[in-house]
Amino acid sequence: MNVYDLIFYLFAAITILSAFFVVTTRNIVYSAYYLLFTFFGVAGIYVLLGADFIAMVQLIVYVGGILILLLFGVMLTNKITNVDIKSGTIHTVPATIGVALFAGIILASMWNTNWKNVNSDMQVASTQHLGFLLIHQYALVFELLGILLLIALIGAASMARK
């Protein structure tokens, strides 16, 4: 058990525990804050997998963008004066049983399958290679995603101000 394993277990514990609290906490603002720790844990797992650029993008886009959007959503759609910020649950028992069954099946198959395992030690900085791929092999996808983001921006703005 070396340092790599220890750090993996630490980040995995942070990710899974905070994701569990995201799903189970009654107060939806607390859920949003626990989601912050989940995103940090996932970013740590990306670093362990040799994806440093993706980890940084995860922190910038998810924590800096999507989480703030979600918090805006919580704040704008709850009556703060009536302290109605708690969120109810429905069908908890059948949902838990179904999800537990599903998770058990997927976990068993994931654990028992003999995956191709080469473990290329990708200890190189990934930013340069990702940038090269983005303007060569994936140039069309890159441009299309830019257009998609523009459309999403215009659509969201025009839908929200109606």
Partner 1 sequence: MIHVGLNHFLVVSTILFSLGILGIVSRKNAVMVLMGIELILNSANINFIAFAKFGNFGFQGQIMALFVIILAAAEAAIALAIVLNIYKTFSTVNVDEIDTLKD
- Contacts (CB under 8 A) with partner 1, residues 98-157: 98-100, 102-103, 106-107, 110-111, 115-120, 122, 126, 129-130, 133-134, 138, 141, 145, 148-149, 152-153, 155-157
Cβ-based burial of 128 (10 A; exposed 0-12, middle 13-18, buried ≥19): exposed
37 scored as a contact of partner 1 (CB under 8 A): no
91 scored as a contact of partner 1 (CB under 8 A): yes
33 scored as a contact of partner 1 (CB under 8 A): no
Residue 19: partners with Cβ closer than 8 Å, 6 or more residues away: 34, 38
Q: How far apart are CA 146 and CA 65, in angstroms?
A: 17
Residue 19 Cβ vs partner 1, minimum distance, rounded to whole Å: 5
16 scored as a contact of partner 1 (CB under 8 A): yes
Cβ-based burial of 79 (10 A; exposed 0-12, middle 13-18, buried ≥19): exposed
22 scored as a contact of partner 1 (CB under 8 A): yes
Helix, strand, or coil (residue 86): strand
Interaction pattern, residues 40-69, with partner 1; x per rule: CB under 8 A: --x--xx--xxx-xx--xx--xx--xx--x
